[in-house]
Amino acid sequence: MSKNVALLTTNFFHPKGDRLIMGGAERYQMDLCRLLRDLGYHVEVWQIGDSWTKEFDGIKIRGLPVNKTEYNTFPELNMAFYENAMSFDYALYFILSLAYPLAREKSIGISHGVYWDWPGFEVANGKQENRQEWLRRMSIALAGPQKLVSVDTNTINYFNATLPGFYHKWEYIPNYVDTELFRPPEETNQANDKIRILFPRRMVPVRGVNETMRAAEILTQKYPQVEFHFCGRGHDDTMEMLMSQWADKHERCYYYWKPFEMMPEIYQQADIVLIPSRSTEGTSLAALEAMACGKPVIVGYAGGLSNLVLQEYNGYLIKPTVENLVASIEELLHDPNKRKLMGKRGREIALSFDKKKWHAKWATVLSSVFS
Amino acid sequence: MPKLTAMMIVRNEAKRYLQRCLNSLAKYTDSIVILDDASEDNTPEICLTYRQVKLFRQKESTFLDNEAQLRHKLWHYTLNDRPEWIVAIDADEFLEEEAIKELPYLLKQKYFNAVSFRLFDCWEGEEYFRTDGLWNPWRRGFSIYMVRYLPQLSSAWPPLKFHCGRFPIAYRQLPHYESSIRIKHLGWANAVYNRAKYERALLQDPSCQYMSKEHYESILWPPEKIKLEKWVERSSI
């Protein structure tokens, strides 16, 4: 008889249950559910929603009609989940703060990276007493689960410096890439004088989209061979409209997004890939996929990106200002050998983040808690 | 590659965009199921010049009286074609060229059983599309145009005489992949037909249940009240 695992998240589907935008977190959740299924567990998911039940990729997803947030925690959702998932043997808290205030005995909390370095977090919780209250709640969230899994070392370091009592609970399981699916393109002798620069993320300020748009304006004006491709969803319809309007007005700037299955081809066609995040970052799936396709990457030094990129070895680790972006892109523009060398090294690094290793590490953690 | 079947209702399309639409569909579909709603021109003859077309004909037109019944009929003809995926498109709608590259990936992917697109209403020709009010393609959201055939789902249609949708209700509730491929809609591109379309819309929906009165009125707005944006052809990497 298979054991039951209940996973709690906030928004896999839009809370109204009518929209699903597949980003990195959603893919991670689906891959984790598939892994659990392969290991013989039965998995169901709970999230914020109007009491609906849906099924996606063979997994039941249920909406819990609570949406109150306090100090960036979701106590009502946490407690509704505790009661509703009572018949389940084990629990996964897909976001660390979801384990506040009450965690199931055999449970694991997951961090996808520091999100409290986002300026909006400071605006909402900047007051000393608010910050203290958030941290107090996080200390309860960390105390509950038996293990805490982090996709990067940045999160672990932050908490070890801030709430050191949980040192023994942390496990570092970095993000992953299927290196058989994401692989460098076949070498061809076809001359191609275009330089394609790819920004493969959500079109949101924390990902450095505004800096990249400005850099695109400068570099497409200066170099006729340069193209900029912005490939990813906006945060909302208006953002997608503004991106489309902007791209239509700028020569050699393109805006679109593509299904996951097409992404290997998109990376393979690129010459340089940008992940210029300012904050709210883990070990980006997009960065790993670009590296696995043998591309040099220019990344912001937010979150766990420094777990993936060594300065001037497989890319550039920069403060993603317009000037720094332009300068690092120009270095790669002028030096095809450097692009090639960095791409080759990126591929080697990506191999150590292969999805099979991710499976094995998760299987070990699961067997130690869910037993 | 999974089989893609297009389904379409046509009526008196010969002088409009039918040939262009079929040329476009022939590039990316395996089969095109067409229900001709008693055309009085040579629409059926044009359809039959395409090898992929399977044509069915109504003796009397029913589109304006009972659209749901017609759609339901087309659905059953389409299922007889043993489709794996079905795209429902009108004779004045065009998936942009980029679709040819992307569709094989959409058909092969395993997560979503439905795919939605944004519709862009071209206005006064094909170079511009309309963006004011409910015409705004971004604010209006995505609509499902392509579904995987799932035999376990019901084929029930809402009992509406018009605005009854292109797919059975169960398919419209599927989680869907929102594609960035645009649909270019030429139904409003020729102003000559717009008054007749406006009058037909109000005749069908006199109490403005389906759309606001203002939206219907906006069909006849003077150019200075209408916002347009240029349609720019796009390509990916």
Q: Do A256 and B111 touch (CB under 8 A)?
A: no
Q: What is the pLDDT of residues A11-28, one digit of tens each?
A: 999 998 889 999 999 999
Two tokens at A200?
Answer: 């493969």
Q: Is the CB of residue A159 less than 8 Å from the CB of residue A310?
A: no
Q: Predicted confidence band at A323 (pLDDT cuts at 50, 70, 90)?
A: very high
Q: Is the CB of residue A359 less than 8 Å from the CB of residue A35?
A: yes
Q: Do B102 and A259 touch (CB under 8 A)?
A: yes
Two tokens at B71?
Answer: 């759609």
A268 at interface of B, judged by CB pairs closer than 8 A: no
Q: Would you say residue A189 has pLDDT above 70? A: no
Q: Is A271 left (phi over 0), alpha (psi -120 to 50) or beta?
A: alpha
Q: Which residues have C-beta within 8 Å of that of residue B169, sequence separation ≥ 6?
A: B154, B156, B157, B158
Pairing state between β A53-56 and A42-48? unpaired
A260 at interface of B, judged by CB pairs closer than 8 A: yes
Please identify, in words, the CATH class of the domain defined by A195-351.
Answer: alpha beta
Which chain A residue has its CA at the smallest distance from B141's CA? Answer: A237
Pairing state between β B114-121 and B85-88? unpaired
Show the 3-state SS of chain B: CCCEEEEEEECCCCCCCHHHHHHHHHHHCCEEEEEEECCCCCHHHHHCCCCCEEEEEECCCCCCCCHHHHHHHHHHHHHHCCCCEEEECCCCEEECCCHHHHHHHHHHCCCCCEEEEEEEEECCCCCEEECCHHHCHHHHCCEEEEEECCCCCCCCCCCCCCCCCCCCHHHHCCCCEEEEEEEEECCCCCHHHHHHHHHHHHHHCCCCCCCCHHHHHHHHCCHHHCCEEECCCCCCC
Cα three-residue angle A53-A58-A60, rounded to 5 degrees: 25
Q: How far apart (Å, rounded) are the C-alpha atoms in residues A354 and A357? A: 6
Q: What is the pLDDT of residues A204-232, one digit of tens each?
A: 999 999 999 999 999 999 999 999 999 99
Q: Give CA separation, A90 vs A103, A234, B143, in Å.
A: 10, 35, 38
Mean per-residue pLDDT over chain B, rounded: 95
Range B54-58 contact pairs with CB under 8 angstroms and sequence separation of 24 or more: B54/B81
Q: What is the structure's pLDDT at A1?
A: 67
Measured between beta carbons, the chain A residues lying within 8 angstroms of B136 are: 241
- Please give the biggest Cα pair distance in chain B: 51
Q: What is the mean pLDDT of residues A270-293?
A: 98
Q: How far apart (Å, rounded) are the C-alpha atoms in residues B110 and A138? A: 37
Which among A337, A348, A335, A196 has a CA at the least distance from the CA of A274?
A: A196
* Single-letter amino acid code for the residue at A58: G
Q: Predicted confidence band at A33 (pLDDT cuts at 50, 70, 90)?
A: very high
**Which range has the worst mean pLDDT, A28-42, A322-336, B191-205?**
B191-205
Q: Predicted confidence band at A138 (pLDDT cuts at 50, 70, 90)?
A: very high
Q: Is A57 left (phi over 0), alpha (psi -120 to 50) or beta?
A: left
Q: Would you say residue A190 has pLDDT above 80? A: no
Q: Is B154 exposed, middle or buried (0-12, 13-18, 19+ CB in 10 A)?
A: exposed
φ/ψ of A262, rounded to 5, equals -95, -10
Interface residue of B103, B138, B152, B231 to substitute, partner A, most A CBs within 10 Å: B138
Where does chain A have alpha helices with state H? Answer: 24-38, 75-84, 119-125, 128-143, 153-162, 209-222, 237-249, 263-269, 285-292, 322-333, 336-351, 355-369
Measured between beta carbons, the chain A residues lying within 8 angstroms of B138 are: 237-238, 240-241, 244
Q: Which residues have C-beta within 8 Å of that of residue A67, sequence separation ≥ 6?
A: A15, A48, A76, A77
Q: Is the CB of residue A245 less than 8 Å from the CB of residue A177?
A: no
Pairing state between β B31-37 and B4-10? parallel
Cis-peptide, bond into residue A101, ω within 30° of zero? yes
Question: Which of A237, A248, A258 lies at the smallest CB-CB distance from B138?
Answer: A237
Residues recorded for chain B: 237
Question: Which of A54, A227, A255 lies at the smallest CB-CB distance from B175?
Answer: A54
Q: Which residues of B touch A (CB under 8 A)?
A: 98, 101-102, 105-106, 108-111, 136, 138-139, 141, 175-180, 229-230, 232, 234-237
Radius of gyration over every alpha carbon of chain B, rounded to an integer in angstroms: 17
Domains of chain B: 4-118+140-186 (3.90.550.10)
Q: Is the CB of residue B47 less than 8 Å from the CB of residue B33?
A: no
Structural domain spans, chain A: 4-176+355-369, 195-351
Which among B143, B99, B140 has a CA at the least distance from the CA of B117?
A: B143
- State how far residue B234 is from chain A, nearest Cα, in angstroms: 7
Question: Which of A13, A255, A261 lies at the smallest CB-CB distance from B109?
Answer: A261
Show the 3-state SS of A327-340: HHHHHHHCCHHHHH
Q: Is the CB of residue B137 less than 8 Å from the CB of residue B120?
A: yes
The number of C-alpha atoms within 13 Å of A29 and in the hemisphere containing its C-beta is 31
Q: What is the mean pLDDT of residues A341-358?
A: 98
Mean per-residue pLDDT over chain A, rounded: 96
Residue showing tokens 């709210």? A280
Q: What is the pLDDT of residues B63-95, one digit of tens each?
A: 888 888 899 999 999 999 999 999 999 999 999
Which chain A residue has its CA at the smallest distance from B106's CA? Answer: A259
Q: How far apart (Å, rounded) are the C-alpha atoms in residues B179 and A258? A: 7
Q: What is the pLDDT of residues B9-60, one digit of tens each?
A: 999 999 999 999 999 999 999 999 999 999 999 999 999 999 999 999 999 9
Q: What would the CATH number be for the domain defined by A4-176+355-369? A: 3.40.50.2000
Q: Do A241 and B136 touch (CB under 8 A)?
A: yes
Pairing state between β A53-56 and A59-64? antiparallel
Q: What is the structure's pLDDT at B163?
A: 80
A146 at interface of B, judged by CB pairs closer than 8 A: no
Measured between beta carbons, the chain B residues lying within 8 angstroms of A21 are: 178
The string over A9-30, giving b where at least 16 C-beta atoms fall within 10 Å of a residue's C-beta and e elsewhere, is bbebbebebeebbbebbbebbb
- State how far residue B10 is from chain A, nearest Cα, in angstroms: 31
The string over A170-209, giving b where at least 16 C-beta atoms fall within 10 Å of a residue's C-beta and e elsewhere, is bbebbbbbbbeebbbeeeeeeeeeebbbbbbbbbbbbbbb
Q: Do domains A4-176+355-369 and A195-351 have the same CATH topology?
A: yes
Q: Would you say the C-alpha torsion B42, B45, B49, B50 has a positive or negative sign?
A: positive
List, as ranges, residues 20-59 from A with C-beta within 8 Å of B: 20-22, 30, 54, 56-57
B93: β partners: B185
Q: What is the mean pLDDT of residues A75-90?
A: 98
